A and B are shown apart, each in its own frame.
Chain A
């Protein structure tokens, strides 16, 4: 390439763009790196001042995250040598591992509730969006506005009524209750996002399928769904991110059986002093599922974001 070009950026422009992107990435990734690093520090390294960039990595944080421990007398410790590698780690502090912590359960709850409500939101959202997009629905505009209006206030504004409702319906601290709640919150977003995507799919595709001898449902399933994959993927990611990170309702409505990871992680601090490495380890693991999910759907997501722009 030589000379001036309208579309091709110059060398200098490329450099500037590169520096900006790297700087921005560093700024946003730094807290993340901090959390990940802290998870591998010893408690004293974690609170050292000035902060340590170089340290000796240890799995203490992760061991503390997944176990419950008790302090023991020197006699007991001498009589019972450590049986496992993680027991050995906690011996430093005159402790022994007595059992697993609740983190595993809470994490599993997060997965069940997060993915469950995401599935339900996207499933119901797709059907509703298809109906709104293709059928004559009485009061369609009003219904769509009503659905959108459920997003107009912060959900937490109705925390008290929901709390009371859940209590009298026996939904407090249940998986079903949390899945329902997150689905209710996400559904409006799902319907609106998906309606946009389905509106973009020409009706002729379904009509061609109808004429080719397929039923309405087969046409929806075999022609519309594959075309809406992009929209479904992006919607699913948005729904999962909300349900996964939701904190306020989780604190309010769950305490045991159905407690998700977000309200649980801060409680780790209380176990024997300020155990920042364990908190950081919990947060690090907590990031993974959404990250993996997003990476898996990345191809669709990118296309989804540019969808409206590319089509005419």
Chain B
């Protein structure tokens, strides 16, 4: 098992830069998520860690050893492909034992290892079947089997659940996480599904256009986004952005949205100019006493909670409130914000302004 350190990793394809300059650290035994929208460079980053793509510049350390320019076969890692890439001309047993055969392991030992892996994954009964007839879930398990059979230093998975249907994804996600917890192997997992990343990951890197936007624990990334992109990409519905203009000093604890004072976490840096007040939907309450007003324009019932969309003088705002509370389209209501959870962003650059809430996260991010 291993620790992976990425330093200033960069990848260019001709004149196009797929990965700008990534640096992050994956602790030993961590379930690490590479999250971002399509085309942001997640796969490219993962393939560079695997050795399937050579970096243009930068370093990759696996267990303290620089492997950036080494071929894949010398890195002792396992890779699970999105389409599984099971060898179609071999049966399940052969597929799983293939990596062992390449190491020249004796036959009896291979057999034993394969049996053990099959037991862990619950695929003992299909060992002798051809891979072409398998269901998506079984293919996934065989692909995992091929990865874990070798006891590699780490597992790299590129959207391993992407080919499964929604219902089954959740089940496999749990199975994967349970498997990881049992084996404690360092795992790097690529996904564009923020929910999957939040549910499964110990730590998340959020990428956009080849740039790392934020790197940290799921809870920190959700509560203390470092950029507007992260705040918007994570959470459903995403964080509300209310634009305003003001001059705030260090230590300020109130801001003014259209003349109404709203609470903010104590600022750690002064800012003068266009800002964005970012607040999660669940931190907004409908409160007739509140001075900041809005009009209900839509409601969406979600069981115990509902999403209420309001039109305000700073734009549209979504609030997640209890379903017990009555909100009808056309109602004019007051909005109160749980200001200590709010994040202020620089409207121009999109970066979060340092405050009592996020300063710990931003400084190491």
Contact = CB atoms under 8 A, between A and B. Distances in A.
Nearest to B77: A211
B87 A223 contact: yes
Contacts of A215: 73
Contacts of B88: 205, 227
Contacts of A212: 73, 98-99, 102, 146, 150
Interface in A206-257: 207-215, 218, 223, 226-227
Contacts of B77: 211
Interface in B77-119: 77-79, 81, 83, 85, 87-89, 98-99, 102-103
Given A213-B73, A214-B73, A215-B73, A207 B85 contact: yes
Given A207-B52, A227-B89, A213 B81 contact: no
Contact of A214 (B52, B75, B78, B102): B102
B50 interface: yes
Contacts of B87: 205, 208-209, 223
A211 B103 contact: no
A75 interface: no
A208 B142 CA distance: 13
Given A205-B85, A227-B88, A211 B52 contact: yes
B83 A207 contact: no
Contact of B99 (A213, A223, A226, A227): A213
B225 to A, nearest CB: 34
Contacts of A213: 73, 99, 102-103
Contacts of B50: 211
Given A213-B99, A227-B89, A208 B73 contact: no
A211 B89 CA distance: 18
Interface string A157-187: 0000000000000000000000000000000
A204 B72 contact: no
Contacts of B75: 211
B71 interface: yes
A50 interface: no
Contact of B72 (A211, A223, A226): A211
Interface in B190-222: none
B71 to A, nearest CB: 7
A208 B102 contact: no
A202 interface: yes
Contacts of B89: 226-227
B81 A204 contact: yes
- Interface size class on chain B is 20 to 34
Interface string B48-69: 0011100000000000000000
A211 B79 contact: yes
Contacts of A226: 89
Contacts of B71: 210
Contacts of B85: 202, 204-205, 207-208
A239 B79 CA distance: 39
B160 to A, nearest CB: 12
A47 B103 CA distance: 70
Nearest to B80: A208
Nearest to A215: B73
A264 to B, nearest CB: 42
A18 to B, nearest CB: 32
B72 to A, nearest CB: 4
A208 B103 contact: no
A199 to B, nearest CB: 16
Central interface residue in B87, B146, B150, by most chain A CB within 10 Å? B87
B153 to A, nearest CB: 12
Contact of A208 (B51, B79, B150): B79
A83 to B, nearest CB: 56
B73 A211 contact: yes
B120 to A, nearest CB: 19
Nearest to B79: A211
B83 A202 contact: yes
A210 B52 contact: yes
A25 to B, nearest CB: 33
Contacts of B79: 207-208, 211
A227 B131 CA distance: 14
B77 to A, nearest CB: 7
B187 to A, nearest CB: 15
A211 B196 CA distance: 26
Interface in B230-281: none
16 contacts: A204-B85, A205-B85, A205-B87, A207-B81, A210-B52, A210-B71, A210-B72, A210-B73, A211-B51, A211-B72, A212-B99, A212-B102, A212-B146, A212-B150, A227-B88, A227-B89
Closest 3 CB pairs of A and B: A204-B85, A212-B99, A213-B102
Given A204-B83, A208-B85, 12 more contacts: A204-B81, A204-B85, A207-B81, A208-B146, A210-B51, A212-B146, A212-B150, A213-B102, A214-B73, A215-B73, A226-B89, A227-B88
Interface of B: 50-52, 71-73, 75, 77-79, 81, 83, 85, 87-89, 98-99, 102-103, 146, 150
